A and B are shown apart, each in its own frame.
Chain A
């Protein structure tokens, strides 16, 4: 099956500043993928490379099996909602839909009209006078109504208030369920993704730290608490992601497909947030060690 986004040794530099270095990942289709990472991890760069707004400095990127934005057909396959959800401020909502119809051969006027109605947007209102939430909804409508196979959203809710954020994500999920479109959505807020994503990619330090379905990841990660132990020898089928020691207590975040049988450990299930934070920390520590020790990910 072709991947939604597949990269190999992808590099993007702006002058001397490296935004993405040697990034290799494969994001499958058929999921709502959350791309999460700290600010400056290269999320926006990766997504803009995927929709063809940026060209790679080196390496490969394929989206649905084609080069990004290589021709109008490829552009039609991918919908994009950019960060801050830009629109044309002097054009009305209705003008935006008309533009969408003119610029996209697969335009679904019915879907667009219905969404605008449901959102109670005034078709005659200029986009510049819409609230941030309404503008984001308009941008999402444009991206949805072109009937793409993949929709890419770059921090679409970052600037919205909590209510608008929830409404946006709800309408995104409703559309996704109806249209069977793959979604890749970035955010630095795990809570946003937790509600909607079934697949998680953690990008830190321009490397993929973690990638998999949310169900798998939550089932194979465990938070263990027990009396203090020396951090030397753990069972060989454990992959220790994070360890913390106090005078009396040791806390571990481990990845293991086998159940934890040792009764000395109190086992808790992990939340997505725990997971993301732990793996983001991994990216940072790898960076500090700069390759002199193999990180846990590579040991697996």
Chain B
């Protein structure tokens, strides 16, 4: 059965090997240059001070670096989806749809074995592909991530970066693949399975960072009263402003950053004429009179690897569940 799986899957393996190899070469060459550039611009000494402007400016002078940084980020979201759609969904659905299952399941192997070998081999290929790509991209992006990304406000623990760094892509790939395969088993139509897999996996990619990941561990809260002279005022929009008294913790994933009143309730500061007309002292006095505090809720930087482990662990467990469901289901196909 492993020979047959290889025979049916080998052209996709060559595609994957080629893509990963080309990307590895491109990212290896530019990555070495990027790391040199970082060393020359005060990295990593600038990290703890949160002062890597020089480095990021240097990165931005060459359009290639921002392009590759964003490409790497996007790739590791697209790749698991592609794996689910093109490797997972048709894996079982195609044989069921074409009717060739009637030939395959009457060879001298049980249909459970047919399923298990296919899931294990192609599933392993999915995880290896995602793992290799993540390894390349994580290494390449490390200096920029440490400086807070191209906008200097989003570190590797942040919403977008997190899913394309470390081991998380392996979990995403495993989940996308097993989800696609299970849906293919249910629909028995490759095209329908591909569409449903895409929609469901996209939903998972959106829901996880918004509703699940922030709850892996209770966030840390830091509240600083706006009192005395050391605070900034930022006009945020139409008649609105923020009072800022803190440095964001370096490397943290900021979940919320709000002004609160003395009871802890969120308040939105109205930008008065004094503030809009840039008369700083009058504005400062006005804000001080409001007795507000700046409250930041965040996940600290050192939770990156624990969170990576939780998320990947959960996805792998769900993948195992989907494999279990598939092997239960395949025995009941009538």
Determine if chain A interacts with chain B: yes
| A contact set with B: CB distance below 8 Å | 14, 48, 51-55, 69, 71-73, 75-76, 78-80, 82, 84, 86-91, 95, 98-100, 102-106, 139, 142-143, 146
Q: When chains A and B are docked, how far (Å) is the Cα of A14 from the Cα of B3?
A: 35
A66 to chain B: closest CB distance in Å? 14
Are A100 and B7 in contact, CB atoms less than 8 angstroms apart?
no
Contact of B108 among A48, A90, A103 (CB under 8 A): A103
Of B3, B103, B109, chain A has the most CB atoms within 10 Å of the CB of B103
A109 to chain B: closest CB distance in Å? 15
Q: A86-B98, A99-B7, A102-B1 are in contact. Are A139 and B103 (CB under 8 A)?
A: yes
List 8 A-B pairs, minimum CB-CB distance, nearest first. A103-B107, A82-B102, A76-B108, A80-B106, A86-B99, A104-B108, A86-B100, A75-B108
Residues 75-126 of B contacting A (Cβ, < 8 Å): 98-110, 113
Q: When chains A and B are docked, how far (Å) is the Cα of A205 from the Cα of B100?
A: 29
Are A91 and B8 in contact, CB atoms less than 8 angstroms apart?
yes
Which residue of A is nearest B103, CB measured? A86
A91: chain B residues within 8 A (beta carbon): 7-8
Q: A54-B334, A55-B334, A90-B8 are in contact. Are A103 and B99 (CB under 8 A)?
A: no
Are B103 and A142 in contact, CB atoms less than 8 angstroms apart?
yes
Are B103 and A82 in contact, CB atoms less than 8 angstroms apart?
yes
Q: When chains A and B are docked, how far (Å) is the Cα of A216 from the Cα of B266?
A: 95
Are B4 and A87 in contact, CB atoms less than 8 angstroms apart?
no
| B contact set with A: CB distance below 8 Å | 1, 3-4, 7-8, 98-110, 113, 332, 334
Q: When chains A and B are docked, how far (Å) is the Cα of A103 from the Cα of B107?
A: 6
B334: chain A residues within 8 A (beta carbon): 14, 54-55
Are B7 and A103 in contact, CB atoms less than 8 angstroms apart?
no
Sample of 10 further A-B pairs with CB below 8 A, known A75-B108, A103-B107: A48-B102, A52-B106, A53-B102, A75-B107, A79-B106, A82-B106, A103-B104, A103-B109, A143-B106, A146-B107
A100: chain B residues within 8 A (beta carbon): 107
Are B8 and A103 in contact, CB atoms less than 8 angstroms apart?
no
Contact of A102 among B4, B8, B101 (CB under 8 A): B4
B102: chain A residues within 8 A (beta carbon): 48, 53, 80, 82, 86
Q: When chains A and B are docked, how far (Å) is the Cα of A84 from the Cα of B102?
A: 10
Are B4 and A99 in contact, CB atoms less than 8 angstroms apart?
yes
Which residue of B is nearest A91, CB measured? B7
Q: When chains A and B are docked, how far (Å) is the Cα of A288 from the Cα of B99?
A: 35
Which residue of A is nearest B105, CB measured? A53
Q: When chains A and B are docked, how far (Å) is the Cα of A245 from the Cα of B34?
A: 99
Q: When chains A and B are docked, how far (Å) is the Cα of A54 from the Cα of B105?
A: 11
Are B110 and A71 in contact, CB atoms less than 8 angstroms apart?
yes
A80: chain B residues within 8 A (beta carbon): 102-103, 106
Are A99 and B108 in contact, CB atoms less than 8 angstroms apart?
no
B308 to chain A: closest CB distance in Å? 39
A102: chain B residues within 8 A (beta carbon): 1, 3-4
Q: When chains A and B are docked, how far (Å) is the Cα of A91 from the Cα of B334?
A: 26
Are A72 and B103 in contact, CB atoms less than 8 angstroms apart?
no
Cβ contacts A to B, 27 pairs, < 8 Å: A14-B334, A51-B106, A52-B106, A55-B334, A69-B110, A71-B110, A72-B110, A75-B106, A75-B107, A75-B108, A76-B108, A82-B103, A86-B100, A87-B100, A88-B103, A90-B8, A91-B7, A98-B7, A99-B3, A99-B107, A103-B108, A139-B103, A142-B103, A142-B107, A143-B106, A146-B107, A146-B108
A14: chain B residues within 8 A (beta carbon): 334
B145 to chain A: closest CB distance in Å? 43
Are B107 and A88 in contact, CB atoms less than 8 angstroms apart?
no
Q: A82-B99, A88-B8 are in contact. Are A72 and B106 (CB under 8 A)?
A: no
A136 to chain B: closest CB distance in Å? 12
Which residue of A is nearest B107, CB measured? A103
Q: A103-B1, A103-B4, A139-B103 are in contact. Are A89 and B110 (CB under 8 A)?
A: no
Which residue of B is nearest A85, CB measured? B103
Q: When chains A and B are docked, how far (Å) is the Cα of A82 from the Cα of B106?
A: 9
B93 to chain A: closest CB distance in Å? 14
Q: When chains A and B are docked, how far (Å) is the Cα of A140 from the Cα of B209?
A: 54
B1: chain A residues within 8 A (beta carbon): 102-103
Q: When chains A and B are docked, how far (Å) is the Cα of A52 from the Cα of B330?
A: 13
A76: chain B residues within 8 A (beta carbon): 108
A79: chain B residues within 8 A (beta carbon): 106
A54: chain B residues within 8 A (beta carbon): 334
Are B98 and A89 in contact, CB atoms less than 8 angstroms apart?
yes
A102 to chain B: closest CB distance in Å? 5
Are A98 and B3 in contact, CB atoms less than 8 angstroms apart?
yes
B105: chain A residues within 8 A (beta carbon): 52-53, 69
Q: When chains A and B are docked, how far (Å) is the Cα of A94 from the Cα of B222?
A: 69
Which residue of B is nearest A54, CB measured? B334
Which residue of B is nearest A106, CB measured? B108
Q: When chains A and B are docked, how far (Å) is the Cα of A146 from the Cα of B108?
A: 8
A69 to chain B: closest CB distance in Å? 7
Q: When chains A and B are docked, how far (Å) is the Cα of A228 from the Cα of B3?
A: 70
A43 to chain B: closest CB distance in Å? 15
Q: When chains A and B are docked, how far (Å) is the Cα of A84 from the Cα of B1?
A: 23
B4: chain A residues within 8 A (beta carbon): 99, 102-103
Q: A54-B334, A86-B98 are in contact. Are A72 and B109 (CB under 8 A)?
A: yes
Which residue of B is nearest A71, CB measured? B110
Q: When chains A and B are docked, how far (Å) is the Cα of A54 from the Cα of B334?
A: 5
A84: chain B residues within 8 A (beta carbon): 99
A197 to chain B: closest CB distance in Å? 22
A143: chain B residues within 8 A (beta carbon): 106
